[in-house]
């Protein structure tokens, strides 16, 4: 379903306040998560850098003030300007020295005070010296003081650019703002004073603008390259006992790398928080909850977790088994709808994995074809692995409500049960609904509901009847169709009440037992030429040779286990 790829991703969706169907009114599903760990290291680094900047500025401004006071004297207007900058820098220094653990908001305020105060000082100085020099006919000094002011703004922009070396977008906004200020002063003086406009002609203005643009562009590009280098260096580092080899995809919260245990030489998949997400407390909490929830499960059809930890730079990561094969999404996209017997065979294994999860009080909440993997394990093909417990919710023990976000929907719109975005708390029957959506996709090649936006798809799940699979694929057996439609019932009470009940119903279908591991092995061998570029088969029991490319949710060319 390539045309639906953009809607197959897991989302966090804030629903509109007014919904057309009564079942969608009120509060929607919450994102519960355990309490996050504050990013003390990042705030501490920013505090130290701001203290250093304040100290350097205080010494520099004091030296220039003494020089001007002793050599030329200080005009009354400039006394107020000097007092303002010393007050801004002194106040900032006291705050940074006294508050040992400042909040992010406090540091942002101090930063605005420091750089805003310095920018104000330079702007007022440019304006004052321009008027003074013109008053006394010192035309050469007008140009000199103007260029000096531009230079100081460039220095200020350079200092700001080094304050956030890991965030080039923040640098771009700050640097652009700082370098716009002298341009505003320049054009204000040209508009207000004709003599200044004649002295600083269009050619000089063009030169000044090009100089400021070059300075700002260089600082922003340098910040961007530093961020890239930091990312590359982080990737090159070892995560505990694991060495990263290459990136194989990206999931909903993190990036996944092919890794190798340095001692065991065992290939594995290492998932780490995507750069830029590690400051989001909800993302961190979801990431930690995913690995803890998955580690509690031991069923062979649930992806196995090997290890978990934090790297030296504080990056969260966990290590899971590396799988060879295709996600069910990639399988259908490559080869079209599957026969009912194979669908029953695959989904029976999914139900087995969910039986254990539900018995432990865990609801997956993000079951979709991209999170179900048809792998090769122990010489068996079509061996299902259920991935990505990033949205798992515990119904056996309450989650911390302090991180709950009201009116928020989590999941994949194409396969979400209506209660996941309605007022009811989803339980195991929400996973049953999602399995029905996956079955519908496997049988017909399309999700049960499609639409131009996630919101319209969710409305369809809650309101519209499902088109029977036999209207799209005539060969679907009646009992399999009835099973799928029961899973997709709007009312949870009309569905199978548990994964075990659904598993029993699958076993009783007429298509059950007509697809086996032997059939799967023959199918994979028969289609090895179709997937030769991505998956290679050899004689005997040689496993599928992985060729990691991009995540199947993007191009369906990479079929390593990349949840999300």
Active site residues: 366
Q: Considering only CA atoms, which of 106, 87, 120 is closest in space to residue 46?
A: 106
> What residues contact 59, with CB distance under 8 A and at least 6 apart?
none
Read off the DSSP letter of residue 452. Answer: S
- In which residue are the tokens 């050599």 written? 71
Q: Where are the beta strands (DSSP E) in 388-540?
A: 393-394, 408-411, 535-536
Between CA 434 and CA 416 the distance in angstroms is 6
User: Is 351:301 a contact under the CB 8 Å cutoff?
Assistant: no
Alpha-carbon distances of 143 from 81, 120, 147, 180, rounded to whole Å: 21, 20, 6, 19
Q: Provide the phi-psi class of 364: left if phi over 0, else alpha when psi is between -120 and 50, else beta.
A: alpha
User: Is 303:387 a contact under the CB 8 Å cutoff?
Assistant: yes
CA atoms within 13 A on the CB side of 40: 4
Token pair of 194, please? Answer: 């004709």
Give Cα 98 distance to the centre of its chain: 35
Q: Provide the phi-psi class of 13: left if phi over 0, else alpha when psi is between -120 and 50, else beta.
A: beta
Q: Considering only CA atoms, which of 424, 415, 357 is closest in space to residue 387?
A: 357
Alpha-carbon distances of 9 from 33, 253, 452, 533, rounded to whole Å: 20, 11, 14, 25
Alpha-carbon distances of 56 from 88, 89, 161, 191, 480, rounded to whole Å: 14, 10, 16, 35, 74
Token pair of 183, please? Answer: 């341009």
φ, ψ (nearest 5 deg) of residue 217: -60, -40
CA dihedral 527, 531, 533, 538 (to 10 degrees): -50
φ, ψ (nearest 5 deg) of residue 324: -115, 130
Token pair of 246, please? Answer: 């290459």
Read off the DSSP letter of residue 254. Answer: E
Helix (H) / strand (E) element for 335: namely: helix 328-335
> What residues contact 178, with CB distance under 8 A and at least 6 apart?
115, 119, 153, 156, 157, 160
CA quadruple 548, 413, 409, 321: dihedral positive or negative?
A: negative
> What residues contact 456, with CB distance under 8 A and at least 6 apart?
none
Between CA 348 and CA 185 the distance in angstroms is 72
The secondary structure of the chain in percent helix, strand, coil, rounded to multiples of 5, reads: 55, 15, 35
């Amino acid at each position: 379903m390539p045309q639906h790829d953009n809607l197959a991703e897991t989302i966090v969706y804030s629903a509109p306040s007014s919904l057309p169907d009564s079942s969608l009114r009120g509060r929607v599903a919450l994102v519960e998560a355990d309490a996050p760990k504050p990013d003390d290291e990042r705030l501490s680094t920013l505090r130290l850098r701001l203290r250093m900047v304040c100290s350097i500025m205080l010494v520099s401004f004091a030296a220039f003030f003494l020089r001007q006071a002793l050599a030329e004297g200080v005009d009354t207007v400039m006394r107020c300007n000097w007092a303002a900058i010393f007050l801004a820098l002194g106040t900032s220094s006291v705050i940074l020295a006294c508050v040992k653990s400042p909040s992010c908001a406090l540091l942002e305020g101090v930063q605005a005070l420091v750089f805003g105060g310095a920018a104000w000082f330079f702007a007022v100085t440019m304006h004052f010296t321009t008027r003074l020099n013109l008053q006394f006919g010192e035309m050469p000094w007008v140009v000199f003081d103007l260029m000096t002011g531009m230079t100081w703004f460039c220095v200020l922009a350079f200092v700001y650019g080094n304050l956030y070396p890991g965030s080039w977008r923040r640098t771009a906004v700050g640097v652009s703002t700082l370098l716009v200020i002298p341009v505003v002063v320049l054009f204000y003086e040209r508009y207000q004073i004709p003599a200044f406009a004649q002295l600083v002609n269009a050619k000089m203005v063009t030169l000044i603008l090009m100089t400021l643009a070059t300075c700002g562009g260089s600082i922003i590009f340098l910040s961007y390259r530093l961020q890239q280098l930091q990312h590359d260096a982080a990737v090159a580092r070892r995560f505990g006992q694991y060495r990263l080899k290459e990136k194989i995809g990206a999931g909903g919260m993190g990036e996944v790398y092919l890794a190798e245990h340095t001692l065991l030489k065992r290939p594995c998949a290492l998932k780490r928080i995507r750069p830029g997400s590690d400051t989001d407390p909800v993302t961190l909490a979801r990431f930690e909850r995913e690995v803890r929830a998955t580690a509690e499960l031991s069923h062979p059809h649930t992806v196995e977790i090997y290890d978990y930890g934090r790297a030296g730079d504080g990056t969260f990561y966990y290590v899971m088994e590396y799988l060879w094969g295709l996600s069910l999404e990639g399988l259908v996209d490559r080869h079209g709808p599957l026969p009912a017997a194979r669908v029953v065979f695959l989904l029976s294994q999914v139900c087995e994995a969910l039986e254990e999860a539900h018995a432990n009080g865990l609801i997956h909440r993000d079951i979709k074809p991209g999170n179900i993997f048809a792998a090769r394990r122990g010489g068996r093909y079509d061996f299902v692995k259920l991935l990505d417990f990033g949205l798992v919710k515990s119904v056996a023990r309450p989650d911390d409500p302090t991180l709950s976000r009201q009116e928020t929907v989590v999941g994949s719109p194409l396969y979400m049960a209506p209660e996941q975005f309605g007022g009811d708390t989803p339980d195991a029957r929400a996973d049953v609904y999602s399995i029905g959506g996956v079955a519908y996709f496997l049988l017909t090649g399309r999700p049960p509901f499609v639409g131009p936006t996630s919101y319209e798809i969710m409305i369809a799940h809650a309101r519209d009847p499902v088109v029977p699979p036999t209207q799209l694929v005539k060969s679907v057996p009646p009992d399999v169709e009835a099973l799928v439609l029961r899973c997709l019932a709007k009312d949870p009470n009309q569905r199978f009440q548990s994964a075990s009940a659904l598993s029993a119903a699958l076993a009783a279908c007429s298509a059950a037992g007509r697809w086996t591991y032997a059939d799967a092995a023959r199918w994979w061998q028969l289609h090895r030429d179709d997937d030769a570029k991505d998956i290679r088969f050899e004689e005997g029991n040689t496993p599928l040779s992985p060729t990691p490319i991009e995540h199947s949710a993007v191009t369906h060319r990479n079929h390593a286990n990349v949840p999300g």
